[in-house]
Chains A and B, each alone.
Chain A
Amino acid sequence: MNIPNPITVDGNEAVARIAHQTSDILAIYPITPASPMGEIADLYSSLQQKNLWGVIPSIVEMQSEAGAAGVLHGALQGGAISSTFTSSQGLLLMIPNLYKIAGELTPCVIHVATRSVATHALSIFCDHSDVMAARATGWGIWFSNSVQQAQDGALLCQMFSLKSRIPFIHAFDGFRTSHEISKIDGITREQAAELFPWAEAAAHRARAMQPEQPEVRGTSQNPDVFFQSRERINPIYQNSPAIFTECLAQFERVTGRSYQPFEYFGAADAQRVVIAMGSSIGAIRETVQQLNNAGEKVGMIAVHLYLPFLSEPFIEALPDTTRSIAVLDRTKEPGAQAEPLMLDISLALVKAGKANIEISHGRYGLSSKELTPAMVTALFREMSHSVLNGFTLGINDDLTNLSVDYDSAIHCQRPPGTHQSVFYGLGADGTVSANKNTIKIIGELTDQFVQGYFEYDSKKSGAVTVSHLRFSPEPIHSSYLIEPDSADFVSCHQFNLLDKYDVLNKAKHGATLLINAPFEAENVWLSLPYRTRNQIASKGCRLYAIDAYKLARELGLGRRINTIMQACYFRLSGVLPEQTALDKMKEYTTKTYQRAGTEILKANHDAIDRALERLHQIPVNCEEAEPEQRPDLQTGNTIIDQVVLRAMRGQGNLIPVSQLPLDGSYPTGTARFEKRNLTDRIPVWEPDLCTQCGKCVYVCPHAVIRSKLIAEDSASNAPASFKQQPAKSKAYGAGWLMSYQVSPEDCTGCELCVDACPITDKQNPDRKAINMADKQPLLAQEIDNWEYFLQIPAVEAHQVKTSTISGSSLVDPLFEFSGACSGCGETPYISLITRLFGNRMLIANATGCSSIYGGNLPTTPYTKNTRGEGPAWNNSLFEDNAEFALGLRLSADQNNIRARSLLSELAAQLPDQLVDSLLNNPQQTDQQLEQQRLSIIELKQLLSTIEQPEATDLGSVAQYLQKKSIWGIGGDGWAYDIGFGGLDHVLASGKNVNLLVLDTEVYSNTGGQMSKATPTGAIAKFAAGGRSRLKKDLFAHAMAYEDVYVAQVAFGAKDTQTLNAIIEAENYPGTSLIIAYSPCIAHGIDLKNNLHQQQLAVSSGHWPLLRYNPAATANGSNPLKVDYKKPIISIRDYMETEARFSLLKRTHPEAAEQLATLAQEYAWHRFNHYSALANLPAENNSSEEA
């Protein structure tokens, strides 16, 4: 099929191209999965690309979507043609302005990559709950159902809006459309210019607020005219259908592509019709085609123009023969009679006198749940004999029995010549980028249609990716993953994934399987898991293997195997003539790597050639007996066994409704079941050198290395290889041993423990008191040692001196084995806080990295101590975390007041000493806190013997007599930007809330967008030319309140300062703020240098170490402490070590120089400024009367 202007892009890029060409101003804010649209638009503007009227669009990143909407409203009222991109909560934050913009009849388009709105849980995946929440605002809503349509819809909405004055939400499905790569017919600049409504754009500009034609808008109206005013706009909506029709006709004339508000596909005499909108249309269309080919009479209607809802075109689109329809909504509105599309459709039928048509309605696809032809087939079959109210598709609802059963073996026939490939890899091994490259090559070199879709992991260390690639001579409508037994080619780029995932599940009979296997060819077969061997044999697969890592090492490519595996794919798959493909690969490689030096370029070219030499076909031998299966782990906890562990095994889609928690509450302590085995090297402790300083434990981002005191008399049953030595600190007295032990299967191999170790062997300086070693030979013994270690009773905070690094490191962390990046700069802070206060801690966690590694199912790293106590954790939103934490504080305080009141009421019936202790224990030290805990236990026992309602009441709140440690945790995006207003308010409240800002200086979780914490001279998304402004000094802001404890820390630069700050903050009875430097992969560094980078940041003055403790004024001290010395290295030297700075020197050398000078001046300014403040004599506020 001939495509006049083929471009291979994903949905976000397809939309951003048009939005950039048709806007003056784009107000943006990052949110998954819409962020790439803003990033692409920003890139276009940084490349000086102009819009259709010859102006470079102005891109402005705001502090939140609410801010972006405000700018949008202002820009529109100023006469600029303006737009934004958003999703989910982002759209919800814009809603107040959506009403304003529509109420003022202002043309505007917002492009929404649809995403679930957070309810019982956050989800970054797709449904239509966000768009549906905006349907009352007066905006039009147009749904695009594919990448091609997303591009076209972007321009159509602009046309509709400018011509009708109705603002439009252009909606397309998050991930499935926004992230799917497809070859489409690109709208040329000339076509866009021809279609753009120039006259209406001029009219819009003419309506701008201007002093030359002053008007008052946005008035405050009274009951006398408000209502009538709302009705005054009716003609605009009434007249809009003709405008839309005209736009669609014009679009077809110019592009050749035809759209209708309601697009019918299927038999002209269909009896059963399914109605839906969004990407699922693809699966429904394929099913309709297949059923009709089999002689059935079915059809479907794709809804494009959802609002304004035009009944007439809908009725026209529906065949007269229709007896039964099913309306599919991709949202859930609990308590409503039905979901919104259904309500609109049914009213349209009633109004048209077609109430006799049977209407089934239901939900599907929440949070990107798959909708497959098998499910659609089942629905059509059900429709032939029954009417379904509120059904669900794609799940097993065994609780309310609303789900439609389906036969998963049903697939749609593919057009001849279609090729489907599935690739399993790691996020970091380049599999996805190689596949994107493959799609581009095939899209460019052939007439084939291409489709690439990528499943991503929520884990950041060892993230697994599954790539789904389809190539076909016919347009590809399959809006779902490659199904079981369907793939022509399956490639597994990480050998250990064969154990964890059912990789062969997707392979069809006779498929080709390519494995990256770290073995000689003759040893590959027997190294495969039995399940894999069995599947290869039973499916008649051809098996090929290559030791890609070995070849990559030989070529100096490290762990990047993408080029090697891609070359093998082209040889084996036959999707292109081999030499053509390899030549093109080399062309792309040259383009990519030529600026990286000829050695690297040559290595990549060699990788292409030598990969083919190293590729071996492996003989398949199927005469083997099945080994004994290990039983699945069972814990006895219903939720863990039925939900957590099944989801962990990749069986989450099979969990029935009844087994899920009612309100989204899950048990903690589940990350320990994962055993992800991400590294082939682990740290090994050397007791002969160790001084037991605890630094290795302190810095471990995944809490996999622990220290414990062991009573000498209980140490005799230790495994032979278990290491322990006499405890060196005199504080513990005699009779204690010390052990440092690593959990070998949870370690990510980041090496920070080795880096932190201050001890080296004087005979062998390469040997430290802890060193990395190959894991495999140690694995079995270290698993045993870890198991033994876990049995050793842990010490509690009150038993050690937690104000020292070694002492605090002896207390078990209640945050372990998170999915954060290997070497993460954030997690050691959280781990430390849970050691110190975890047993009485409530955490409010802002959305971001820390909420993802903290609370992304199936497991959580938050855990409990041996008494079952641990942090209680929740994520409210991104923007309200400080307020959420304050709510927790107020609640704990109210409960404390109630408990104290009830205790006083019942005092006569309780021992005086106990009551006195409970009411007057200051709970300042770990020992006092422990005493209070024991007193509460005693109280509860006594209360159970008192038969009075007050005793029961007190029993229910007695735990609030224990001091609760309330923490608001989040990143700089929260604290500096979207949540700053709330954070500021909580700082001003004086309430005992501890706020921990994990400052990575960018929005890390959404991909490194600039925040107000981004330092001068750093590049970031939305700041490709380097941030020119100074980083906001949050410390100074908080210090200005004078009664807020505030600290700026960097654990890798000065560990004791961090520890002291955290303890002081928690002890401080008012509000506390800790700003914690957190090196991040977004800095363009290798996180194994995490500690070193923190030292450089501090030594250069980039990151001042400061503490401001208002409590110090009580004893006449200056509350400010400057905990770092005069900078001894230049900011420039520090900047050279991080790609976020050094890349700017290469792209914008003059700006880099100028910004480095500014950064240097700022570093000195802050040092001098804070030093001067810290050296001021403490104020004497006492006054002497004359």
Chain B
Amino acid sequence: MTNLTTTYLGLTLKNPLVPSSSPFTKKLDTAKQLEDAGAGAIIMHSLFEEEVTAHQKVFASHLADNSFGFAEMDNFLPEPTDYEDVTSQYLKTLTELKSALDIPVIASINGIGSGEWLSVAKDIQQAGANALEVNLYSVPSDTDKTSSEIEKKYLQIVNALKAETTLPLTFKLSDQFSSPGNFVKQLEAAGANGVSLFNRFYQPDVDLDTGQVYPSLNLSNKYEYLRALHWIALLYNQTGLSLGATGGVHNSATVLKLIGSGANVVHTTSALLSTGPSTLTQWQTEIEQWLEEQELELEDFRGRYSMQQLRDPAVFERVNYYQNLQLYRR
């Protein structure tokens, strides 16, 4: 049997299939199904900064504003007696997952504030997480803000987290950086252990009938992996960080392409949501077969299609864009 072992964030995984944050990784029973189906590790559902602070605000406001001083009533909502905040709920789930699963559990947080909420990293470590993925997701709607200011803010988060935890840290990035490679190097210098490429934006849409703007949420399509493939191929061996590929992974061929470009692990959500955890078993079998046919071990195969390994690295650079256009016009 082909050896699919890979190393990610200093963790040895039995294979590179790591389901990303999704409803599957939120509950014990479905997480167990993923493990049984062959997942190498799981990324827990994300604890959102907004969720943590919103909960604190809701609770604080409930405490502060649930007293009205009217003759017939002093308050409206019943006082919550066994109130469990969102962080406690997350940590409780993490503890349960850790005790039930043999594979590594990577916790996940999502936010861009470098303030108090990051102290949760310490609690996550104490609850037994094997690593922490940090989803850096922001929409820089302030047009006066420069890209370097935004990057600086992200690096502050890295520093703040390093002060809270010794867990391996990986950062899930968007591809909307002026120089993604340079930012990855800055993350490495700041103490990150890995990056996951790329985040997906949930962009709002407009309802023409009502004039309302509403959030739209669509699953990834099977071509989205190309963004990750492109940048992982560029970054392979240019950085010591672990590389995770995410977005648009809908079949085992894509997994192989991403590994071949240099990814240590490949994340998937949409395919699992569409077809269920058993997909992982099927992919694992197909990957094993393909590598066997090629007479390769996974580690030997990794990075084979990276920019450094290719005879024609220009395919990953701007000239590739031009050539594609020419092809299209023909």
Q: How far is the CA of A1136 from the CA of B86 in the complex (A)?
A: 13
A46 CB-CB contact with B under 8 Å: yes
The answer to whether A159 has its CB under 8 Å from any CB of chain B is no
Q: Could you say which residues of chain B place their CB within 8 Å of the CB of A1007?
A: 72-76
Picked from A428, A598, A852, A1024, the residue with its CB within 8 Å of the CB of B65 is A428
Residues in A whose Cβ lies below 8 Å from that of B72: 32-33, 35, 124, 456, 852, 1005-1007
In the complex, what residue of chain B is closest to A848 when comparing beta carbons? B72
Using Cβ atoms and an 8 Å threshold, which residues of chain A touch B69?
Answer: 425-428, 431-432, 454, 456-457, 463, 465
Binary interface encoding of chain B residues 59-79 relative to chain A, with 1 for a CB under 8 A from any of its CBs, else 0: 111111111111111111111
Contact of B53 with A1082 in the complex, beta carbons under 8 Å? no
Q: How far is the CA of A124 from the CA of B209 in the complex (A)?
A: 49
B82 at the interface (CB under 8 A from A): yes
Asked if A1139 and B71 make an inter-chain contact with CB atoms under 8 angstroms apart, the answer reads no
In the assembled complex, A527 has its CB within 8 A of some CB on chain B: no
Cβ of A596 and Cβ of B70 under 8 Å apart? no
What total of chain B residues lie within 8 Å of the partner, measured CB to CB? 43
A593-B63, A1007-B73 are known contacts. Are A427 and B68 too (CB-CB below 8 A)?
Answer: yes
**B209 and A1125 form a contact (CB under 8 A):** yes
**B39-98 contacts to A (CB < 8 Å):** 52-56, 58-86, 89
- CB-CB < 8 A to B119: which residues of A? 598
User: Contact: A456 with B71, CB < 8 Å?
Assistant: yes
Question: Which partner residue on chain B sits nearest A600 by CB separation?
Answer: B60
- Name the distance in Å between B83's Cβ and chain A's nearest Cβ: 5
A599 interface residue per 8 A CB criterion: yes
Which residues of chain B are near A465, meaning CB under 8 Å?
A: 69
Contact of B67 among A42, A433, A1008, A1021 (CB under 8 A): A433
Q: Is the CB of A1006 within 8 A of B73?
A: yes
Residues from chain B with a CB closer than 8 A to the CB of A1023 are: 78
Cβ-based interface call for A714 (8 A): no
A1149-B80 contact in complex given A595-B59, A1128-B210, A1128-B214, C-beta closer than 8 Å: no
Complex Cα gap A1099–B64 (Å): 29
Whether B179 sits at the interface, judged by CB under 8 Å, is no
Query: Are B210 and A1081 in contact (CB-based, < 8 A)?
Result: no
| Residues A1149 and B89 in contact in the complex (CB < 8 Å), given A456-B70, A463-B70 | yes
Contacts of B55 in A (CB 8 A): 1146
- 0/1 string, A888-927, CB within 8 A of B gives 1: 0000000000000000000000000000000000000000
Most B Cβ at <10 Å: residue of A42, A597, A1023: A597
Residues of A within 8 A of B52 (CB): 597
Min CB gap B80→A, angstroms: 5
Give the residue name and chain of the B residue nearest to A1138 (CB).
B58
For residue A1142, CB closer than 8 A to chain B, the reply is yes
Complex-state Cα separation, A950 to B71, whole angstroms: 51
- Whether A1143 touches B80, Cβ cut-off 8 Å, given contacts A433-B67, A1006-B73, A1125-B209, is yes
A1039 to chain B, nearest CB (A): 25
A1025 CA to B76 CA, complexed, in Å: 15
For B84, the closest partner residue in chain A by CB is: A1146
In the assembled complex, B144 has its CB within 8 A of some CB on chain A: no
Bound CA–CA A1023/B78 (angstroms): 8
A1019 contacts B by Cβ under 8 Å: yes
Given A463-B70, A1146-B83: A1002 in contact with B60 (beta carbons within 8 A)? no
Contact A1020 B78 (CB under 8 A): yes
Contact (Cβ within 8 A) A32 B81: no
Residue in contact with A1128 in the complex, picked from B59, B63, B207, CB distance below 8 Å: B207
Q: Which residues of A contact B214 (CB under 8 A)?
A: 1099, 1128-1129
Q: What is the CA–CA distance of A458 and B69 in the complex, to the nearest angstrom?
A: 9
- Residues in chain B near residue A1081, CB distance under 8 A: 65, 68, 76
Q: Which residues of chain B come closer than 8 Å to A402, judged between CB atoms?
A: none
Residue B176 at the chain A interface, CB threshold 8 Å: no
Shortest distance from the beta carbon of A1172 to any chain B beta carbon, whole Å: 20
- A175 closest partner in B (C-beta): B71
Q: Which of B70, B85, B86 contacts A460 (CB 8 A)?
A: B70
Docked Cα-Cα span, A898 to B39, in Å, equals 86
The range of chain A's interface size is 35 or more
Q: Check if A1140 is an interface residue, CB within 8 A of chain B.
A: yes
In chain A between 1079 and 1096, which residues have their CB closer than 8 angstroms to a CB of chain B? 1080-1082, 1084, 1086, 1095
Residue of B nearest to A42 (CB): B78
A457-B77 in contact (CB<8A): no
Q: B64 — which chain A residues lie within 8 A by C-beta? A: 430, 557-558, 560
Bound-state CA distance A1011–B58 (Å) is 24
Query: Total A-B residue pairs with C-beta atoms closer than 8 Å?
Result: 155
Note all chain A residues with C-beta closer than 8 A to B78: 39, 42-43, 1019-1021, 1023-1024
List B contacts of A560 (CB < 8 A).
64
| Interface status of A47 (Cβ within 8 A of chain B) | yes
Cα A1142 to Cα B52 in complex, Å, equals 13
A1128 to B61, CA, bound (A): 28
| Chain A 1112-1128: CB-based contact to B (< 8 A → 1; otherwise 0) | 00000000000001001
Among residues of B, the one whose C-beta sits closest to the C-beta of A556 is B60
Residue of B nearest to A1005 (CB): B72
Contact call A597/B56, Cβ cutoff below 8 A: yes
Other-chain contact of A1084, B68, B76, B82, B210 (Cβ < 8 Å): B76
| Contacting residues, chain A, for B61 (C-beta < 8 A) | 1086, 1139
CB proximity of B203 to chain A, nearest CB, Å: 15
Instruction: Answer yes or no: B274 CB below 8 A from chain A CBs.
Output: no
* In the complex with contacts A596-B56, A1146-B85, A463-B68 CB distance below 8 A: yes
Q: Which of A47, A463, A1129, A1142 contacts B58 (CB 8 A)?
A: A1142
B214 and chain A: residue at smallest CB distance: A1128
Q: Cβ of B178 < 8 Å from any Cβ of A?
A: no
Q: Check if A1147 is an interface residue, CB within 8 A of chain B.
A: yes
- A824–chain B nearest beta-carbon distance, Å: 13
In the complex with contacts A1139-B61, A1146-B85, A427-B67 CB distance below 8 A? yes
The reply on A945 being an interface residue by CB < 8 A is no
* B63 lies within 8 A of A1147 (CB): no
* Given contacts A1007-B74, A1128-B210, A1084 and B62 within 8 Å (CB-CB): yes
Report the minimum CB–CB distance from A1101 to chain B (whole Å): 13
**Cα-based distance from A458 to B89 in the complex (angstroms):** 41
Which residues from B are CB-within-8-Å of A1082?
76-77
Cβ-based interface call for A592 (8 A):
yes
Contact of B56 among A124, A463, A558, A599 (CB under 8 A): A599
Partner of B76, one of A558, A600, A1008, A1024: A1008
Is the Cβ of A43 less than 8 Å from the Cβ of B81? yes
Chain A, residue nearest B217 (CB): A1130
On whether A1099 and B68 interact (CB within 8 A), knowing A599-B56, A1020-B78, the answer reads no
Contact of A1147 among B71, B73, B81 (CB under 8 A): B81
A597 to B66, CA, bound (A): 18
Closest to A1143 in B: B80
Chain A residues near B86: list those with CB within 8 A.
1146
- Which residues from B are CB-within-8-Å of A33? 72
Interface check B146, CB cutoff 8 A: no
Chain A residues contacting B73 (CB-CB under 8 Å) are 32, 35, 1005-1008
Check if A597 sits within 8 Å of B116, measured CB to CB.
yes
Identify 11 residue pairs between A and B in the complex whose beta-carbon atoms are under 8 Å apart, listed by A's number.
A39-B78, A43-B81, A427-B67, A428-B68, A432-B69, A599-B116, A1008-B73, A1020-B77, A1081-B76, A1128-B207, A1143-B77
* List of 9 A-B pairs having minimum Cβ-Cβ separation, nearest first: A427-B69, A1007-B73, A1008-B76, A597-B56, A456-B71, A596-B60, A1082-B76, A1024-B78, A465-B69
Known A457-B71, A463-B69, A1084-B66; further 16 A-B contacts with Cβ < 8 A: A35-B72, A43-B81, A427-B68, A427-B69, A428-B69, A456-B71, A596-B59, A597-B59, A599-B116, A1019-B77, A1020-B78, A1024-B81, A1082-B77, A1099-B214, A1139-B77, A1143-B77
A positions within 8 Å CB-CB of B: 32-33, 35, 39, 42-43, 46-47, 124, 425-428, 430-433, 454, 456-458, 460, 463, 465, 557-558, 560, 592-593, 595-600, 852, 1002, 1004-1008, 1019-1021, 1023-1024, 1080-1082, 1084, 1086, 1095, 1099, 1125, 1128-1129, 1136, 1139-1140, 1142-1143, 1146-1147, 1149
